[in-house]
Amino acid sequence: MCQIHNRVIAALGGKARMAEALALHPNVLTKWHERGIPARYWGEVVEICGNLDPPFAVTVAELKATKPGVARESCAA
- Distances from the Cα of 43 to the Cα of 48, 63, 70, angstroms: 9, 10, 17
Task: Tell me the angle at which helices 42-50 and 3-11 cross, rounded to the nearest 10 degrees.
Answer: 50
At 70, the pLDDT band (50, 70, 90 cuts) reads: low
Q: Give the start-to-end residue ranges of the domains of the chain.
A: 3-74
Please state, as a whole number, how many other Cβ atoms lie within 10 Å of the Cβ of residue 17: 13
Q: Tell me the per-residue pLDDT of 9-43, one tens digit each, with 9 for 90 and over.
A: 999 999 999 999 999 999 999 999 888 999 999 99
Closest CA relative to residue 41, chosen from 55, 77, 58, 56: 58
Q: How long, in residues, is the chain? A: 77
pLDDT score of 76 more than 70: no
Please state the pTM of the whole predicted model.
0.83
Q: What is the overall mean pLDDT for the chain?
A: 88
CA separation for the pair 49, 76 (Å, rounded): 21
Does the domain spanning 3-74 belong to CATH 3.40.50?
no
